[in-house]
Amino acid sequence: MKNILNISAYLFVGISDPQLLREQLLQQARHARVLGTVLIATEGINLFLAGQADGVRGFLSWLRSDGRFAAIEAKESWSEGYPFRKLLVKVKSEIIRMNHPAIQPSQGRAPAVDAQTAQRWLAQGHDDDGRPVVTLDTRNGFEVDHGTFDGAIDWRLDKFSDFPAALDAHKTQFEGKTVISFCTGGIRCEKAAIYMREAGLQNVWQLDGGILKYFEETGGAHFKGSCFVFDERRALDAGLEAEQA
């Protein structure tokens, strides 16, 4: 019986008191009896948690009661057991490391394309203005090996902080095209899309909610394989079920 609710969520928002927030989050997460990881930085919050549904949703409700996090949205999936062994709440320099401090999504994010629109563009091969559409996988190479969109561009990144240099080396291949940057849950492609626009590429979109939201809303059309996740389930199929070994 799948009675453990798993959530992934992030929000880029200015946080002036990350250490104080860490103590509050740790106390509340323990009270909710959830396991997983919460990352906090001055640029925002990123979390992967699992527990009984009432505990997880109670924790989210508490988090949203803080006006800074009222807009946070969570992707949900279910499992038979906890895919995490402990609870970690950490303060980091970035919630997703890019090593480009000027990239601040909390000060204005790149345009996002929703799952249904992305599916339609991929089916027709072009966007609504007739430009060819390409998908750009911003994840690490080992994640891509589990699955990705048909024909997606994959630069075999070892880590996300390699993305800026990879873009600088390949930028010309996007001329005259619309680019959909994507990742697991949206956090990496959000930073990537901003960087691409600041590099002079105009027709760049981030896939809103990432692959997990795309699976939830489209059933995985145009996606081959599964989506790697950083917990003991290892990868999820298009039905958000753990991939069978």
DSSP string, 171-234: GGGGTT-EEEEE-SSSHHHHHHHHHHHHTT--SEEEETTHHHHHHHHHSSTTEEE-EE-SSTT-
Q: How confident is the model at residue 102 (pLDDT cuts 50, 70, 90)?
A: confident
Beta bridge partners of 235: 228
Please tell me whether residues 208 and 232 are part of one structural domain: yes
Please tell me whether residues 77 and 130 are part of one structural domain: no
Positions annotated as catalytic residues are 183
Q: What is the spatial distance between Cα 156 and Cα 154, in angstroms, rounded to a whole number?
A: 6
Please tell me whether residues 8 and 111 are part of one structural domain: no
Please tell me whether residues 152 and 56 are part of one structural domain: no
Q: How confident is the model at residue 85 (pLDDT cuts 50, 70, 90)?
A: very high
- Choosing from 91, 122, 155, the residue where a domain stops is 91
Please tell me whether residues 222 and 138 are part of one structural domain: yes
Beta bridge partners of 127: none
Percentage of residues in the chain having pLDDT higher than 70: 100
Residue 167 covered by a domain: yes
Domain, as residue range, for 26:
4-91
Residue 39: give its domain's CATH number: 3.30.70.100
Q: Is the pLDDT of residue 238 over 70?
A: yes
Please tell me whether residues 86 and 143 are part of one structural domain: no
Is the four-CA dihedral 111, 117, 122, 126 of positive or negative sign?
negative
What is this structure's pTM? 0.93
Q: What is the spatial distance between Cα 176 and Cα 203, in angstroms, rounded to a whole number?
A: 8
- Which amino acid is it at 17? D
Please tell me whether residues 58 and 132 are part of one structural domain: no
Q: Is the pLDDT of residue 75 over 90?
A: yes
pLDDT of residue 244: 73
Residue 54 covered by a domain: yes
Please tell me whether residues 87 and 109 are part of one structural domain: no
Residue 100 covered by a domain: no
Please tell me whether residues 196 and 85 are part of one structural domain: no
Residue 205: give its domain's CATH number: 3.40.250.10
Q: What is the pLDDT of residues 180-217, one digit of tens each?
A: 999 999 999 999 999 999 999 999 999 999 999 999 99
Please tell me whether residues 211 and 125 are part of one structural domain: yes
DSSP string, 49-92: EEE-HHHHHHHHHHHHTSGGGTT--EEEEEESS-S-SSEEEEE-
**How many structural domains is the chain composed of?**
2
Q: Which residue has the higher pLDDT, 106 or 127?
A: 127
Q: How confident is the model at residue 108 (pLDDT cuts 50, 70, 90)?
A: confident
pLDDT of residue 245: 60
**77-100 mean pLDDT:** 96
Q: What is the spatial distance between Cα 181 and Cα 210, in angstroms, rounded to a whole number?
A: 9
Give the CA distances from residue 106 to residues 38, 117, 191, in Å, rounded to whole numbers and listed in that order.
18, 24, 10
Q: What is the spatial distance between Cα 211 and Cα 224, in angstroms, rounded to a whole number?
A: 11
